[in-house]
Amino acid sequence: MTGSDAEARPVEAEETPAPPPEPLPADIAEALGEAVLESAVEGGTVRLTVRPEAIADACRFLRDREAGAYEHLASLLGLDHGDALGVVYHLYQLHGSARVVIHVRVPRQAPTLRSIAGVFLAADWKEREAAEMYGIVFEGHPDPRKLLLPDEWEGYPLRKDYVIPEHPFLTPDPTHEL
């Protein structure tokens, strides 16, 4: 090949259309009904946004589901969305690769959810951490004591509006007197 014949031409990738969205499993859609505000299924992961008052019932249904139970609570994370607070729950099947991610938003002024510690024992310390760091109240939690911070700590350090107080161990000034 010589001259213009030797120039590399870009290879055009064939565009494949996006696969159609997977439907929410019928038993989940039927059982949770109006409690589900949004849903999506992608690659075996069911993503749900549920009403705050329905979180414990939704988790209980998913744990006890006959068509593939989600028996493992892998994580429970608090979030600060700015205008609201939230919690994200990651549930997995022990005998399979399917998972459910549940999002719940609560008002910043009254961040209250029912505890799921009675549904998943693993939620106990995870809820305590979210309560301590974000100020989310988990009603019915069996042991709502602080987990990480001293009892006298004021405020919720992972909220976006938290102001770090003058404290000898938190100040960035190494010359600050103790």
CATH 1.10.10.10: does it fit domain 22-139?
no
pLDDT, tens digit, 9 for 90 and up, residues 134-171: 999 999 999 999 999 999 999 999 999 998 877 656 55
pLDDT for 17 = 73
pLDDT for 73 = 98
pLDDT for 170 = 59
pLDDT, tens digit, 9 for 90 and up, residues 88-138: 999 999 988 889 999 999 999 999 999 999 999 999 999 999 999 999 999
State how far the Cα of 92 lies from the Cα of 159, in Å rounded to an integer: 28
* Per-domain residue ranges of the chain: 22-139
Of residues 6 and 14, more confidently modeled = 14
pLDDT, tens digit, 9 for 90 and up, residues 20-78: 667 788 899 899 999 999 999 988 899 999 999 999 999 999 999 988 899 999 999 99
Inform me whether the pLDDT recorded for 2 exceeds 60.
no
pLDDT for 166 = 72
Three-state secondary structure string covering 81-139: CCCEEEEEEEEECCCCCCEEEEEEEEECCCCEEECCCCCCCCHHHHHHHHHHHHCCEEE
